[in-house]
Protein backbone atom coordinates (compact mmCIF):
# COMPACT_ATOMS: atom_id res chain seq x y z
CA UNK A 1 0.00 0.00 0.00
CA UNK A 2 2.86 2.38 0.85
CA UNK A 3 4.44 1.73 -2.53
CA UNK A 4 1.17 2.50 -4.28
CA UNK A 5 0.83 5.80 -2.42
CA UNK A 6 4.46 6.68 -3.20
CA UNK A 7 3.96 5.94 -6.90
CA UNK A 8 0.78 8.01 -6.94
CA UNK A 9 2.58 10.97 -5.34
CA UNK A 10 5.43 10.74 -7.86
CA UNK A 11 2.94 10.57 -10.73
CA UNK A 12 1.04 13.62 -9.47
CA UNK A 13 4.23 15.63 -8.85
CA UNK A 14 5.79 14.94 -12.26
CA UNK A 15 3.71 17.43 -14.30
CA UNK A 16 4.50 20.21 -11.82
CA UNK A 17 8.25 19.82 -12.28
CA UNK A 18 8.16 19.19 -16.02
CA UNK A 19 5.83 22.11 -16.77
CA UNK A 20 8.26 24.65 -15.29
CA UNK A 21 11.11 23.09 -17.29
CA UNK A 22 9.08 23.18 -20.50
CA UNK A 23 8.60 26.94 -20.06
CA UNK A 24 12.34 27.57 -20.29
CA UNK A 25 13.26 28.93 -23.71
CA UNK A 26 13.10 31.78 -26.18
CA UNK A 27 9.80 33.57 -26.88
CA UNK A 28 9.17 36.17 -29.55
CA UNK A 29 6.25 38.32 -30.57
CA UNK A 30 5.00 37.45 -34.01
CA UNK A 31 2.02 38.22 -36.17
CA UNK A 32 -1.08 37.45 -34.15
CA UNK A 33 -2.82 34.36 -35.48
CA UNK A 34 -6.36 34.79 -36.82
CA UNK A 35 -8.05 32.87 -34.00
CA UNK A 36 -6.14 34.89 -31.38
CA UNK A 37 -7.13 38.16 -33.10
CA UNK A 38 -10.80 37.16 -32.96
CA UNK A 39 -10.54 36.01 -29.35
CA UNK A 40 -8.90 39.25 -28.18
CA UNK A 41 -11.07 41.48 -30.40
CA UNK A 42 -14.03 40.14 -28.42
CA UNK A 43 -12.19 41.30 -25.28
CA UNK A 44 -11.88 44.84 -26.76
CA UNK A 45 -8.15 44.53 -27.47
CA UNK A 46 -7.23 46.63 -30.49
CA UNK A 47 -3.44 47.09 -30.26
CA UNK A 48 -0.61 44.56 -30.43
CA UNK A 49 3.03 44.62 -29.30
CA UNK A 50 5.60 43.67 -31.95
CA UNK A 51 9.34 43.17 -31.74
CA UNK A 52 9.55 41.83 -28.17
CA UNK A 53 11.64 38.86 -27.10
CA UNK A 54 11.73 37.00 -23.81
CA UNK A 55 14.37 34.50 -22.67
CA UNK A 56 13.46 32.31 -19.69
CA UNK A 57 16.53 30.54 -18.32
CA UNK A 58 16.78 27.34 -16.23
CA UNK A 59 18.31 29.25 -13.29
CA UNK A 60 15.06 31.30 -13.00
CA UNK A 61 16.61 34.41 -14.53
CA UNK A 62 15.15 36.16 -17.57
CA UNK A 63 15.97 38.76 -20.19
CA UNK A 64 13.18 40.70 -21.93
CA UNK A 65 14.07 42.81 -24.95
CA UNK A 66 11.51 45.34 -26.14
CA UNK A 67 11.77 48.05 -28.77
CA UNK A 68 13.41 50.42 -26.29
CA UNK A 69 14.55 48.54 -23.21
CA UNK A 70 16.33 45.46 -21.92
CA UNK A 71 14.81 44.15 -18.68
CA UNK A 72 16.45 41.48 -16.54
CA UNK A 73 15.57 39.74 -13.31
CA UNK A 74 14.07 36.55 -11.91
CA UNK A 75 10.97 34.60 -12.99
CA UNK A 76 8.74 31.97 -11.48
CA UNK A 77 5.61 30.07 -12.39
CA UNK A 78 2.46 30.70 -10.37
CA UNK A 79 -0.27 28.29 -11.49
CA UNK A 80 -1.15 29.42 -15.05
CA UNK A 81 1.11 32.49 -15.04
CA UNK A 82 4.72 33.42 -15.52
CA UNK A 83 5.69 36.20 -13.12
CA UNK A 84 8.69 38.40 -13.93
CA UNK A 85 10.40 40.34 -11.14
CA UNK A 86 12.46 43.07 -12.81
CA UNK A 87 15.79 43.89 -11.14
CA UNK A 88 17.47 45.88 -13.93
CA UNK A 89 16.31 48.02 -16.82
CA UNK A 90 18.61 49.43 -19.50
CA UNK A 91 17.95 51.40 -22.64
CA UNK A 92 18.46 49.32 -25.74
CA UNK A 93 20.17 52.17 -27.59
CA UNK A 94 23.90 51.90 -27.03
CA UNK A 95 24.41 55.65 -27.46
CA UNK A 96 22.04 56.36 -24.54
CA UNK A 97 23.79 53.76 -22.39
CA UNK A 98 27.22 55.28 -23.22
CA UNK A 99 25.85 58.74 -22.34
CA UNK A 100 24.96 57.34 -18.90
CA UNK A 101 21.21 57.62 -19.34
CA UNK A 102 19.32 55.19 -17.13
CA UNK A 103 15.61 54.42 -17.23
CA UNK A 104 13.76 53.88 -13.99
CA UNK A 105 13.60 50.26 -12.93
CA UNK A 106 10.01 49.19 -13.38
CA UNK A 107 8.52 48.42 -10.01
CA UNK A 108 6.12 45.60 -9.36
CA UNK A 109 5.74 42.38 -11.23
CA UNK A 110 4.95 41.56 -14.85
CA UNK A 111 2.41 38.75 -15.28
CA UNK A 112 2.00 36.62 -18.42
CA UNK A 113 -0.77 34.08 -18.81
CA UNK A 114 0.39 30.66 -20.05
CA UNK A 115 -1.63 29.34 -23.00
CA UNK A 116 0.16 26.22 -24.30
CA UNK A 117 3.23 27.53 -26.17
CA UNK A 118 2.00 31.13 -25.93
CA UNK A 119 2.53 33.74 -23.20
CA UNK A 120 0.05 36.64 -23.17
CA UNK A 121 -0.25 39.91 -21.33
CA UNK A 122 -3.02 42.49 -21.77
CA UNK A 123 -2.38 45.99 -20.45
CA UNK A 124 -3.66 49.54 -20.90
CA UNK A 125 -1.86 51.87 -23.30
CA UNK A 126 -1.08 55.51 -22.54
CA UNK A 127 -4.22 56.41 -24.48
CA UNK A 128 -6.40 54.05 -22.44
CA UNK A 129 -6.88 51.29 -25.03
CA UNK A 130 -6.10 47.63 -24.39
CA UNK A 131 -2.83 46.23 -25.75
CA UNK A 132 -1.97 42.55 -26.24
CA UNK A 133 1.57 41.24 -26.00
CA UNK A 134 1.61 37.66 -27.31
CA UNK A 135 4.91 35.80 -27.18
CA UNK A 136 5.22 32.55 -29.11
CA UNK A 137 7.80 29.97 -28.06
CA UNK A 138 10.40 29.52 -30.79
CA UNK A 139 13.05 27.45 -28.95
Per-residue pLDDT of the chain in tens (139 residues, 90 and over written 9): 655 454 444 444 444 434 555 899 999 998 878 887 888 888 888 888 888 999 999 999 999 999 889 999 999 999 999 999 999 888 888 888 788 887 876 667 999 999 877 899 998 888 888 999 999 999 7
Do the domain assignments include residue 1? no
Domain of residue 96 covers 24-137
Nearest alpha-carbon partner for 91 in 74, 79, 103, 81: 103
Nearest alpha-carbon partner for 134 in 27, 39, 34: 27
**What pLDDT sits at residue 94?**
82
**What pLDDT sits at residue 106?**
66
Do the domain assignments include residue 8? no
Nearest alpha-carbon partner for 83 in 114, 51, 123: 114
Q: How many domains does the chain have?
A: 1
Do the domain assignments include residue 124? yes
**What pLDDT sits at residue 116?**
78
* Dist. CA 94–CA 29, nearest whole Å: 23
**What pLDDT sits at residue 96?**
81
Do the domain assignments include residue 51? yes
Amino acid sequence: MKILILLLLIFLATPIFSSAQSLVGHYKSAEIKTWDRVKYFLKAVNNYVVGSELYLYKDSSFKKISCGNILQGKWHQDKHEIVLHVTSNEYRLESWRKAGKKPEVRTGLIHYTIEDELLTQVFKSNTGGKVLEALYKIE
